Amino acid sequence: MGRPKKRQSDDFRDYLNEQLRDPEFAAGFEEASEDLSFAVRIIELRTAMGLSQKQLADKLGTTQSVISRIENSNYQGHSLKTLRKVADALDARVVIDIVPKEEMVKRARSR
């Protein structure tokens, strides 16, 4: 009997863990993860409220394209004021934390 076949996801996880040993890579990875989870969270809250991008835009007095941009994880132009307005419209709050980089590296490795 041979040894169990390694899944592709295990290979990727091993590769990622190896890359995360580099503090610069780990910091960039964590930042990208935060951007993605932030965008996903806005989408989740909006859809849970049964709102389209257009409906959320109307609540904020803006356009659907602005909401689309805010929900894009690659967009880096969020102002705290805008995020607070979006959160308020979604009956949520923005929470900001300052975390030492080493802690962020540990978080990234534990994923």
CB atoms within 10 A of CB 33: 15
Q: What is the 3-state secondary structure (H, E, C) of 10-53?
A: HHHHHHHHHHCCCHHHHHHHHHHHHHHHHHHHHHHHHHHCCCCH
* pLDDT higher at 14 or 87: 87
Task: Kindly report the pTM of this predicted structure.
Answer: 0.64
Mean pLDDT for all residues in the chain: 84
Domains and CATH numbers, the chain: 8-110 (1.10.260.40)
Cβ atoms of 91 and 6 closer than 8 Å: no
pLDDT of residue 4: 56
Over residues 64-82, mean pLDDT: 88
**What is the distance, to the nearest Å, from the Cα of residue 25 to the centroid of all Cα atoms in its chain?**
17
| pLDDT for position 3 | 56
Give the span between the Cα atoms of 90 and 50, in whole angstroms: 10
